[in-house]
Each structure stands twice: as C-alpha cells, then as structure tokens.
Amino acid sequence: MLEILTSHFVEDEHYNYFDDMYSPDYVCQDMMEAIISSIQSGDFPAAELQRLKGGLEKLRHTEAYEDYDVSYALNLWEKFENSRY
C-alpha cells in the first residue's frame, strides 16, 4: 500500500494538490502507527517484520521519498527503529 501511494504521488502529480485536507501521508502515517503498535505489543510475525523492512528500504529510494519526503511513514519507522537501540 505504501509503495502504491508513493508511486502515484509522483506519477499523478499529487504534489500539486497537497494541502491540509489532502495528503496521502495521512493514510501512510496511520498505517505505520498501527504497525508499530502491533510490533510493540508482540503481535507482529517475525517473517512479516523482515518483509516490511525490505519494503521500507525499497521506498527510501523512490522519487517520492527522495524528492518530496513522501511517505512520512518512513520517518516514523526510522524514529521507532532508532528508539529500539
């Protein structure tokens, strides 16, 4: 889902419509907060955690992230990862 949102952000020029009422980051942020909460409670399978990490690494190299800092979910993940160590 995050990959689709980040690719469409650039392809469909969503950055032209960004305002306080529209932001794909709101969806991504809510999803990442739910995922982090699940990891913290121990309800997130280890295999899925590895898959998530691989996907997030892939997103770090997208145009949406490198040029527009979308998706903010990556920043949430980095803060979470850094707080764990």
| Mean per-residue pLDDT over the chain, rounded | 80
Is pLDDT above 70 for 22? Answer: no
Count CB neighbours of 2 within 10 A. 25
* pLDDT-above-90 percentage for the chain: 34
For residue 22, the enclosing domain spans 2-84
Chain-centre distance for alpha carbon 25: 8
When pLDDT is averaged across residues 28-47 and rounded to a whole number, the result is 93
Task: Count how many domains the chain has.
Answer: 1
pLDDT in tens, 39-76: 999 999 999 999 999 988 888 888 778 887 767 788 89
Q: Which residue has the higher pLDDT, 63 or 3?
A: 63
Residue 27 is given by DSSP the state: H
Residue 42: both structure tokens together = 């121990």
What is the structure's pLDDT at 15?
A: 56
Q: Which residue has the higher pLDDT, 6 or 82?
A: 82
